[in-house]
Amino acid sequence: MLRKYIQEKSALIDLALEEFIPEYNGYPAKVFEAMRYSLLAGGKRLRPVLLMAAADAVGGQGARYRHVACGLEMIHTYSLIHDDLPSMDNDDYRRGKLTNHKVFGEAIALLAGDGLLTAAFEIMLAQPEVAPAVLLQVVREIASSAGATGMIGGQTVDLLSEGKMIDIATLTYMHQAKTGALFKAALRAGAMLANAQTWQVDALTTYAEEFGLTFQITDDILDVTGDQAKIGKPIGSDEKNQKATYVSLYSLAEAQSMAEAAGQRALSALDKFGPEADILRLMVRYVLTREN
């Protein structure tokens, strides 16, 4: 059930991304080539899938909101391009392929990320069949989640914390902002676009917070226990960059227990929903057992 849902929605997103960022034969074609290189390199498409699943869970049709869903994926991809740069994490591989700057150089990689970020908002604001006031609210939330008090703020704390002993409060804030903010934006966006009731938006917000924590803890675990061939990037990069993680601050066993507990809290947030939220429930188990 979950595999089929993800495959169908990912295929829809892939087709839409091809349409929204087409091949460009004029000048400057190089930046479009670099944008498409990372954007179409595969990946789980988790954020757009979550947006669609949230809309479905409140009685909407998630597939209708592909513009906003693709915008989220473009923001996520831009962040990966920049995160891999030598001035950031200095990674050579992403999704099993050479990172953007390894293929196109640092300057073009920077511009490709900038191009994806700005195009994301142009595409999201073209979302049809949504009341303008609702669409503006959704896009504003996504902008805030991606900005200096959201993802970028979390990345800043991440960089400034390298090689330092930080406490759990700092680590929690860092991951809530760097990773959790876009997950929350995706789930809330899906609910709001589908005209969810207030209690549904609130429940999905709680789910999103716990889902994001579950995802980040398992990410830290995979950096220690994962298979590079399945992850698509080198393992042990957190240790190499002297980054604090749930595994380094606690232990592998404790981190695994914390991930399970966060996953259970995410599931509990869906108690008032019926089978229409089963995809979201299955997503929690998927994250806890993922290998990449």
210 has pLDDT over 80 = yes
Q: For residue 226, what pLDDT band results from cuts at 50, 70 and 90?
A: low
Q: How far apart are CA 220 and CA 213, in angstroms?
A: 11
Query: Which range of residues forms the domain containing residue 155?
Result: 2-289
| Pair 116, 139: CB distance under 8 Å | no
pLDDT of amino acid 162: 84
Q: How far apart are CA 145 and CA 177, in angstroms?
A: 8
**Into how many domains does the chain fold?**
1
88 has pLDDT over 60 = yes
pLDDT of amino acid 233: 54
* Weakest mean pLDDT among 38-52, 172-186, 236-250: 236-250
154 has pLDDT over 90 = yes
Please give the span between the terminal C-alpha atoms of the chain, in angstroms, as a whole number: 20
Q: Residue 242, by phi and psi: left (phi above 0), alpha (psi -120 to 50) or beta?
A: left
Strands (E), 13-119: 93-94, 97-98
pTM of the predicted model, to two decimals? 0.92
Q: For residue 291, what pLDDT band results from cuts at 50, 70 and 90?
A: confident
- Encode pLDDT of 257-278 as tens digits: 999 999 999 999 999 999 999 9
CATH of the domain at 125: 1.10.600.10
Give Cα separations from 49 to 3, 6, 187, 206 (angstroms): 12, 7, 9, 18
